[in-house]
Chains A and B, each alone.
Chain A
């Protein structure tokens, strides 16, 4: 463990944790503008989180330890995940952190426990959400594996730190196939964070809920932790996409000035991506549950194509 990595381990999760909720709010704001509304203030999310933190948690009498444990597990899993995705500077690789397969499994762990938490309270909605989420996970998982395999194939490494060290600072994507992979990554970002057309995060409507249904029974501090974990997950997936397709300005050295510039640039690029996500969400309608595999197959198609092109061309 070297100093560069220690600094990274301190800065990166902190940066992600602080900035993540902002982008949830930004997407909401863009959607509101697209509908000719003003929408809540950008910092409203932080106030909401603060308010929830101060409230007591209420548990259903049928719930077990799973419900109490899930929020803490989710947030800590995603904090560990944030060690895998360099956002502001790329440290020297250390201790096997950054491995893409471990990253995927950590995300799967988080998903699994969210589903268990949904089942735990014993309400009909939670069970429905968990069942939907798990059946969709079964379809998206192979696609995700293939997409990340394609990414690993193009950048010749299984380690996210090494991948970003390779792309860092370039203006054009270093390989045309990265454009293809980034489309798959975008679809994965949409699916994993439960956005339209897969799931509608803005409603509590029985017909459309997937993610919201699972956390419907959570209250107070636990709900805040889950919301924060969700925002963090979105921010990290956005980070992977940004550092793959537009890594301009990403620093590979430890230098206060460079890190500041890199962090600022990252915030700007993430802002741009959030606007794109918001506009994308405003322009599509919620898909029927059974039509969703067609959406995932797009991601699969582009990733498989990437591997084909990389192998042959």
Chain B
């Protein structure tokens, strides 16, 4: 049996890495780097879930870790990397409302705000420091994902922002509420459908139906075969 205090120390270090990944998602311009960062972030969440299982011994946490690993570390990044290959856009250089620098500075404020807000909410609850810290990071991750969604212009980055937002929800769920496992599964199914929709929409957001059909036929996103 591993010492729970040691495990908690490692979870705290993972928290820090989750925050780092959130900062990177906000400021990176290279699409494939954003995707890699998202994959790493999801992997970190799976690891946190697994470590919590080692401390608590609840089977659901183990299942959740497995599910996160399968869907968010393998399946979804695979789909998105396929989209990125197809749309042949390497970078997201245009920003709406906020430049990455401003977004990063703003996220410091977001974290501070989540802390103040949650400390008011959880004032009377007997929540341990680790769990409170996790909740704050979960909430900030959600809001930082939102920041990515409205400050980026490319659809793929927006989708990744949304996915990172969901990672925040998962984190919040891990540490504060106990979501029934079936709801987690439903959320994951939702996400996969979102990614599929993005795949379809990303190629033809700006075109008419005819142009869109042509583009779609040309890309053959699903079969993976380039048609003539």
Residues on A facing B (Cβ under 8 Å): 172-173, 176-177, 179-180, 183, 293-294, 297-298, 300-302, 304-305, 308-309, 312-313
Contacts and interface: CB of A to CB of B under 8 A. Distances in A.
Given A176-B13, A308-B115, A313-B129, 10 more contacts: A179-B13, A179-B16, A294-B100, A297-B104, A298-B23, A301-B104, A301-B108, A309-B16, A312-B136, A313-B132
Given A297-B105, A298-B104, A308 B16 contact: no
B151 to A, nearest CB: 13
Given A179-B13, A183-B20, A308 B129 contact: no
Contacts of A313: 129, 132-133, 136
B15 interface: yes
Interface string B91-130: 0000000011100110110011001000100000000010
Interface of B is mostly: helix
6 contacts: A172-B9, A173-B13, A176-B16, A301-B108, A312-B115, A312-B119
Contacts of B99: 294
A180 B20 contact: yes
Interface of B: 9, 12-13, 15-17, 19-20, 23, 27, 99-101, 104-105, 107-108, 111-112, 115, 119, 129, 132-133, 136
Given A177-B16, A293-B101, A302 B112 contact: no
Given A176-B9, A302-B23, A308 B101 contact: no
Contacts of B20: 180, 183, 302
A177 B133 CA distance: 13
Nearest to B105: A297
Contact of B27 (A172, A173, A294, A308): A294
B107 A301 contact: yes
B108 A179 contact: no
A180 B27 contact: no
A302 B99 CA distance: 18
Interface of A is mostly: helix
B27, B104, B136 pick with most chain A CB within 10 angstroms: B104
B139 to A, nearest CB: 13
B216 to A, nearest CB: 34
A300 B101 CA distance: 10
Nearest to A312: B115
A114 B8 CA distance: 47
A289 B116 CA distance: 37
Contacts of A302: 20, 23
Nearest to B19: A305
Given A293-B101, A294-B100, A304 B13 contact: no
Nearest to B129: A313
The 3 closest A-B pairs by CB, nearest first: A176-B12, A176-B13, A301-B104
B23, B132, B136 pick with most chain A CB within 10 angstroms: B23
Contacts of A300: 104-105
Contact of A308 (B9, B17, B111): B111
Nearest to A175: B12
Contacts of A180: 16, 19-20
Contacts of A183: 20
A294 B15 contact: no
A176 B20 CA distance: 12
Contacts of B115: 308, 312
A297 B101 contact: yes
Nearest to B14: A176
Contacts of A298: 23, 27, 104
Nearest to A294: B101
Contacts of B136: 312-313
Contacts of B133: 309, 313
A143 B104 CA distance: 14
A190 to B, nearest CB: 16
B107 to A, nearest CB: 7
Nearest to B108: A304
A179 B17 contact: yes
A215 B8 CA distance: 50
A293 B27 CA distance: 12
B12, B15, B16, B17 pick with most chain A CB within 10 angstroms: B16
A63 B98 CA distance: 47
A308 B136 CA distance: 12
A183 B136 CA distance: 22
A177 B104 CA distance: 18
Given A183-B20, A313-B129, A305 B108 contact: yes
Contacts of B13: 172-173, 176, 179
